Amino acid sequence: MKRLLTSVAMAALLTAAPAMAQDKTVLQFWDNQQTESGLSDYQRAAVERFEAENPDVTVNVTTIPYPEYQQRLLTAVQGGNAPDIATLDQIWVAAFAAAGAVEDLSEEAAAAGLTKDKFFPGAWDSASYEGGLYGIPFNVDVWQFSFYNAALLQEAGVDPASLATWDGLKAAAEAVTDRAAGRFGVGLFGHEGEDTVVVMNSFVFSNGGSVLGEDGSCALDEPAAIEALTYLQSLVPYAPQGILNASSGDMRQLFLNGSLAIEFWPALEQPTLQKSAIDWGFVNGTAPEGKTPVGTYGGWNLAIFSASPNKDAAMRFAEFLTREDVNGDVVDLVPANTKAAAAFLAANREGPDEIMAHLENARPRPLSPRYLEVADIEVRLAQDVYSGEDVAAAAKKACDAIDALN
């Protein structure tokens, strides 16, 4: 009899357990891992905090390496297995919105008090598409900062402040470069990657140019862009060989081994440099004399998927992750929430005010659902420019290809 009672009690417990679990919303959250910063520990702590504040929700975090992330998300959406909420690269938002894969969060964001003034303006814009808001800005950074090796510049008699202007940067690169000795002035890169595009864009933006004009047509063949591209081409003699297959990562290697005086990276580079033996500094990009450098935004937004049955819980989670007291703990770029960013930069980065100024002034890449095709054409343009082809002809070819997309 006793055995029977025990069995009945156990059976009751086993059947009740799933019912208890069903009361909780299980939220699937996907994020990509860009660095080896150990961030997931902080994310885990933040998730525990969220679950404590929201006892009706359990969050399952799936972290996917960056190179696989886009493919995994795409496959999940196509296969009907999308997560409830995920980080989306700024440049994917328009495509996911146009595909109807992610929700317009305009009303939910307004109701939660998430407004543009709480975030970097360019980051907010990067989540906008055709009047809707398809993501909450999560983290940001800006391409590019010109990081310099102070010892190499000093040896060549270069004032680091001069790097802020085009003339100064070129003169510095020329003064430092000694190709026979394997020493190079400026780390240009033009491989088939997005870092190629963002650096080229920032030179165009800093000269008052654009990638796409107001009407959506290509503006890379306009005088401001041509001038910027011609300037970039003029830096080639001072860059390491192999630009067309080099990435920002390759330039970092040369910078860290003392062969390269100036590398282009976002602020994310600082933790790596802080651990190195290099005496380094940075300036906020570079622009023609009298103009202010304008960077290109990079970063991620939190998007809620249309197929999610847990949109309310997902929105609460997005609100939580972008909160002033949380945002800085769960990002390894810069928090998109400006107040969180100020605190994060003060605690973790050198030159926080300069970084804030560059972030406030940056522009997003074109907000087009066909951006990835535009970027592919831009990579080819950069390769044409760096390989010495006629700049105006290369820009015309790129614009013909971009305009043919419409």
Partner 1 sequence: MLRDRWMSFAFLAPAVLLLGVFLYYPMIGTVIESFYSTSFINPNPAFVGFKQYETVMGKAEFWQVLANSLVWTVCVVALQNVIGFFVAVLLNQALPAQGLVRAVVLLPWVLPGVVVAILWRFMYDPQLGLINSFLISAGLTTEGIAWLADKTTAMGAVILAAVWKGFPFSALIYLAALQSVDREQIEAATIDGAGALRRLRDVVLPAIRNVILVNVVLTTILTFNYFDIVWVLTRGGPQGATDIFPTKIYELGFGQFRFGEAATYGVASIGVLALVAALYVLAQRAGSRRRRPV
Closer to partner 1 by Cβ: residue 284 or 368: 368
Q: Which of residues 239-298 bind partner 1 (CB under 8 A)?
A: 240-246, 250, 253-254, 259
Closer to partner 1 by Cβ: residue 96 or 280: 96
Copy the structure tokens of residue 154. Answer: 């000093």
39 makes contact with partner 1 (CB under 8 A): no
Q: Which of residues 99-118 bind partner 1 (CB under 8 A)?
A: 99-101
Pick from 185, 190, 293, 299 the residue near partner 1 by CB under 8 A: 190
> Least Å distance between CB 146 and partner 1?
20
172 makes contact with partner 1 (CB under 8 A): no
Binding region for partner 1 (CB under 8 A) out of 21-29, 179-187, 222-230, 276-284:
179-187
> Least Å distance between CB 235 and partner 1?
16
Binding region for partner 1 (CB under 8 A) out of 47-55, 70-78, 144-152, 358-366:
70-78
Binding region for partner 1 (CB under 8 A) out of 27-35, 98-106, 142-150, 159-167:
98-106
Cβ-contact 399, 218 below 8 angstroms: yes
Closer to partner 1 by Cβ: residue 120 or 184: 184
> Least Å distance between CB 6 and partner 1?
45
Pick from 51, 222, 329, 376 the residue near partner 1 by CB under 8 A: 376
Closer to partner 1 by Cβ: residue 100 or 223: 100
Pick from 71, 106, 217, 276 the residue near partner 1 by CB under 8 A: 71
Pick from 330, 384, 395, 399 the residue near partner 1 by CB under 8 A: 384
- Peptide bond connecting 90 to the previous residue in cis, omega within 30 degrees of 0: no
Pick from 51, 116, 193, 230 the residue near partner 1 by CB under 8 A: 193
Closer to partner 1 by Cβ: residue 193 or 288: 193
Helix/strand/coil (H/E/C) assignment for every residue in the chain: CHHHHHHHHHHHHHHHHHHHHHCCEEEEEEEEECCCCCHHHHHHHHHHHHHHHCCCEEEEEEEEEHHHHHHHHHHHHHCCCCCCEEEEEHHHHHHHHHCCCECCCHHHHHHCCCCHHHECHHHHHHCEECCEECCEEEEEEEECEEEEEHHHHHHCCCCHHHHHEHHHHHHHHHHHCEHHHCEEEEECCCCCCHHHHHHHHHHHHHCCCCCECCCCCECCCCHHHHHHHHHHHHCHHHCCCCHHHCCHHHHHHHHHCCCEEEEEECHHHHHHHHHCCCCEEEECCCECCCCCCCCEEEEEEEEEECCCCCHHHHHHHHHHHCCCCCHHHCCCCEECEHHHHHHHHHHHCCCHHHHHHHHHHCECCCCCCCHHHHHHHHHHHHHHHHCCCCHHHHHHHHHHHHHCCC
Pick from 12, 37, 179, 400 the residue near partner 1 by CB under 8 A: 179
Residues lying near partner 1 in the complex (CB under 8 A) are found at 70-71, 74, 77-78, 95-96, 98-101, 179-180, 182, 190-193, 240-246, 250, 253-254, 259, 369-370, 372-373, 376, 379-380, 383-384, 387
